[in-house]
């Protein structure tokens, strides 16, 4: 089981390296988003307080992650699905995609953080807590959006559907992440954000479990 997943992960990684334009496109998308935020806000830096920073940051991350997760099923040639169907079970495919998307979204979130720190400013006081929240929220985004991408890839206007189906589902993760980030920005005691972190873990558990149970039904077609 784990061996198969590792092989699938390796395959994702190799494919990513071969289609560098895709990953470059994602990077550029992220950069453009941050740059737009910079142009519209940082010219009068006083206007941007920490709460706005957190909201802007998470919106940027969300939009990039939606695009990154969308490509996990949308745009793949149908031959690949057929091939994967013969060599691996639905759960293995899902877990491989999920882990890959989690890693990819974490990387994008971190890149986004660096860009935000360079162009706008870096208000994070409690870095470790912030990283933990980034990891948890990205895992949550990835597990919800991977399943949604699977659904949207089967429908006709996939790219629009990806946004329409995805946003309402991830909004609870987004809200909790913004709340928790505010605490990390203020450098409050860890105990004040324990609740938010636990809720994130719980939401991830729900989203992950639902994706794991439901994905085989999409995969079968």
Partner 1 sequence: MKNGLKITAIVILIYVHIAGLLMDVPRLAILNETVRALYFHVPMWFGMVLLYVASSYYAIRYLRTQQPDDDVRAESFAHTGTAFGLLGIFTGMLWANYTWGSPWHGDPKQNGAAIALLVYLAYFVLRGSVENREQRARLSAVYNVFAFAAMVPLIFIIPRLTSSMHPGSGGNPGFNVYDLDSRMRFVFYPAVAGWFIVGWWMATLRYRLKKIKEKLDEREFA
The residues that touch partner 1, with contacts defined as CB under 8 A, are: 144, 147-148, 151, 154-157, 161, 164-165, 167-172, 175-176, 179, 195, 199, 202-203, 206-207, 210-211, 214, 217-218, 220-221
CB of 85 to partner 1, least distance (A): 16
Indicate the residue among 84 and 177 with the shorter CB distance to partner 1.
177
CB of 21 to partner 1, least distance (A): 28
Indicate the residue among 115 and 184 with the shorter CB distance to partner 1.
184
CB of 134 to partner 1, least distance (A): 19
* 3-state secondary structure string across the chain: CHHHHHHHHHHHHHHHHHCHHHHHHHHHHHHHHHHHHHHHHHHHHHHCCHHHHHHHHHHHHHHHHHHHHHCCCCCCCHHHHHHHHHHCCHHHHHHHHHHHHHHHHHHHHHHHHHHHHHHCCCCCCCHHHHHHHHHHHHHHHHHHHHHHHHHHHHCCCHHHHHHHHHHHHHHHHHHHHHHHHHHHHHCCCHHHHHHHHHHHHHHHHHHHHHHHHHHHHHHCC
Indicate the residue among 115 and 153 with the shorter CB distance to partner 1.
153
- Using CB atoms within 10 A of its CB, is residue 176 exposed (0-12), middle (13-18) or buried (19+)? buried
Indicate the residue among 37 and 101 with the shorter CB distance to partner 1.
101
CB of 137 to partner 1, least distance (A): 13
Indicate the residue among 56 and 148 with the shorter CB distance to partner 1.
148
Indicate the residue among 14 and 164 with the shorter CB distance to partner 1.
164
CB of 14 to partner 1, least distance (A): 29
CB of 182 to partner 1, least distance (A): 12
């Amino acid at each position: 089981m784990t061996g198969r997943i590792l092989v699938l992960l390796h395959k994702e990684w190799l494919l990513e390296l071969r289609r560098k334009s895709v990953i470059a496109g994602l990077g550029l998308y992220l950069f453009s988003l941050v740059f737009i935020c910079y142009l519209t806000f940082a010219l009068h830096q006083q206007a941007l307080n920490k709460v706005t920073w957190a909201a802007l940051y998470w919106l940027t991350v969300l939009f990039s992650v939606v695009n990154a997760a969308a490509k996990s099923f949308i745009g793949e040639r149908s031959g690949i699905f057929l091939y994967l169907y013969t060599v691996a079970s639905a759960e293995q495919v899902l877990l491989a995609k999920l882990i890959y998307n989690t890693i990819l979204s974490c990387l994008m979130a971190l890149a986004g953080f660096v860009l935000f720190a360079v162009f706008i400013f870096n208000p994070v006081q409690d870095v470790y807590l912030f990283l933990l929240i980034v990891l948890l929220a990205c895992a949550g985004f990835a597990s919800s959006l991977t399943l949604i991408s699977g659904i949207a890839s089967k429908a006709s206007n996939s790219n629009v559907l990806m946004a329409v189906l995805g946003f309402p589902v991830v909004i609870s993760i987004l809200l909790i992440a913004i709340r928790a980030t505010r605490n990390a920005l203020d450098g409050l005691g860890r105990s004040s954000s324990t609740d938010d972190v636990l809720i994130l873990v719980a939401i991830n558990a729900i989203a992950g479990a639902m994706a794991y149970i439901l994905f085989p039904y999409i995969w079968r077609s």
